[in-house]
Amino acid sequence: MTAVHPRRPTRGALCAVLALLGLLAALTGCGATAPKAAKPAADTAVQQLLDRQAAAVRGHDQQAYLAGIDPRSTRFLAAQRKTIGNLAQVPLADWTYRLVRTGAFPLPPEAAADGTRRTAAEVQLSYRLRGYDAEPVVSTSYLTLTERAGRWYVAADDDGASAGRRSAVQLWDQGKVTAVRGAHSLVLGLGDSKTLHGYAADADAAVPQVQHAWGRAGWPGSVVIEAPATLDQLGALLAADPADYKGIAAVTTGELGGSARAPADRVIVNPAAFGELSAFGRQVVLTHETTHVATRLATTSHTPLWLSEGFADWVAYRDSGRTAPEVAPELAHDVTAGHLPAALPAAADFRPTAPALAQAYEGGWLACRMVADHWSPATLTALYRAAGTGTPLDTVLRTTLHLSLADFTARWRQYVQQELG
């Protein structure tokens, strides 16, 4: 994530949740396997509807897609007509729906005097972008489905909101998407073409910097940027209060919770905050966020945020020629006023609304800079990789730097005083 203190990249917000369903087979006394229960006929029919809708999206077939929308849901039909058109430039490699369950939320008490049958469904969307995604992006929608004269339709996607079942919002739900391809980037945006090309140029410059620092293995060597046009649209994409991200220039999804199969990451730009930055600041932001994409597989819930955010800043500023007080002005002000931080930044210090957010980023950057300067850049990357394995941080520091966590913290405090005092 990137806050707008001259740059500040952020914790990412936020990834779609992959729900896995398993069917357990019961064993009988003689060792035979009990037969699996058959799916209800309605569920099979609904899945067939979803399969047809997915095929229509993949083929950019508006007529076929709209044929699966309830013609009596005029408002929803009009919205879906726009959505399928908004997807026209998005380079889809795959797009599938899976019915997770029916009866997922209470439906509004509307009489179906005409014999219409209605059900509430939780549906999982998985999609990949051609040439960019090795793994799919997964999100959840809560749909109202209607059946009339033996045919099922999709009738709404907002009836579950009152029960806390809100469908995920995608960029194409908010407007017509323009796709801009760079040498190492794909920008999907709602803004003007000139701005989107600028994002692509900055991302193309960022990727080689990240490869130099982190290497080429374990990530695609490219970045996908989503560019909403407003702060409210950013909040909708992140399912968050837009006000919390007013001062954040960009966010990378999926920064935490790494696994052997990383989902596709997206860098989401806050157009207002990003637009306030200088050319140098914009480059720093996208280099920082691209670092989060590259380090995704090595980043887990065990990785301290001062290390993940500090490392991303270290990569972004590594060859900038800027002095420590220039990169860390807020922390420098504190130190010269006699307020030396007592401990490494905690996770809470990196919340978008944290009062000392800038100091948290600056402190993490100085910790990583210290390791790279006093040991080596290779030692810093080794420390990063080791920290995500689940080994206690004290043990990781002893193994890589031959310092306990307490000794490392003391040495970092001395370094902060030396560089900023």
Domains parsed from the chain with CATH numbers: 41-168 (3.10.450.100), 300-421 (no CATH)
DSSP character at residue 244: G
Q: Which of 128, 225, 230, 210 is nearest to 180 (CA)?
A: 225
pLDDT class of 135 with cuts at 50, 70, 90:
confident
**Whether 12 contacts 253, CB under 8 Å:** yes
DSSP character at residue 278: -
- Cα pseudo-dihedral 57, 289, 295, 367, rounded to 10: -160
pLDDT class of 134 with cuts at 50, 70, 90:
confident
Token pair recorded at residue 347: 């996770």
Q: Is residue 14 scored above 60 in pLDDT?
A: no
User: What pLDDT score does 26 carry?
Assistant: 30
Token pair recorded at residue 304: 């301290």
Q: How large is the C-alpha radius of gyration of the chain?
A: 24
Q: Is residue 22 scored above 50 in pLDDT?
A: no
With a CB cutoff of 8 Å and minimum separation 6, the contacts of 213 are 291, 314, 315, 318, 377, 381
**Helix or strand run (H / E) with residue 316:** helix 305-317
**Whether 87 contacts 57, CB under 8 Å:** yes
Positive or negative: CA dihedral 286, 291, 296, 299: negative
User: What pLDDT score does 274 carry?
Assistant: 94
**Percentage of the chain lying above the pLDDT 90 cut:** 77
**Helix or strand run (H / E) with residue 138:** strand 137-148
Q: Is residue 394 scored above 90 in pLDDT?
A: yes
Residue 229 CB-half CA count within 13 A: 11
Q: Which of 153, 150, 124, 121 is nearest to 139 (CA)?
A: 124
Q: Is residue 289 scored above 60 in pLDDT?
A: yes
**Whether 291 contacts 315, CB under 8 Å:** yes
- Lowest-pLDDT choice from 107-111, 137-141, 189-193, 337-341: 107-111
User: What pLDDT score does 42 carry?
Assistant: 82
**Whether 220 contacts 264, CB under 8 Å:** no
142-157 mean pLDDT: 94
Q: Is residue 129 scored above 90 in pLDDT?
A: yes
pLDDT class of 40 with cuts at 50, 70, 90:
low
Between CA 352 and CA 355 the distance in angstroms is 9
- Lowest-pLDDT choice from 2-6, 207-211, 344-348: 2-6
**In one letter, which amino acid is 180?**
V
pLDDT class of 27 with cuts at 50, 70, 90:
very low
**Whether 144 contacts 120, CB under 8 Å:** yes
| pLDDT one-digit tens code per residue, 355-388 | 999 999 999 999 999 999 999 999 999 999 999 9
Between CA 361 and CA 332 the distance in angstroms is 12
Q: Is residue 300 scored above 50 in pLDDT?
A: yes
Question: Which residue is listed with tokens 């060859």?
Answer: 319
User: What pLDDT score does 114 carry?
Assistant: 63
Q: Is residue 415 scored above 90 in pLDDT?
A: yes
More confident residue, 253 or 306: 306
Q: Is residue 24 scored above 50 in pLDDT?
A: no
Between CA 91 and CA 5 the distance in angstroms is 34
Between the alpha carbon of residue 421 and those of residues 269, 280, 353, 375, the distances in Å are 34, 25, 27, 22
Burial annotation 243-275 (CB, 10 A radius, 16+ → b, else e): eebbbbbbbbbbbbebeeebbbbbbbbbbbbbe
pLDDT class of 35 with cuts at 50, 70, 90:
very low
User: What pLDDT score does 113 carry?
Assistant: 53
Q: At what angle do helices 377-387 and 305-317 cross, to 10 degrees?
A: 150
Q: Is residue 207 scored above 80 in pLDDT?
A: yes
User: What pLDDT score does 256 carry?
Assistant: 37
User: What pLDDT score does 373 carry?
Assistant: 97
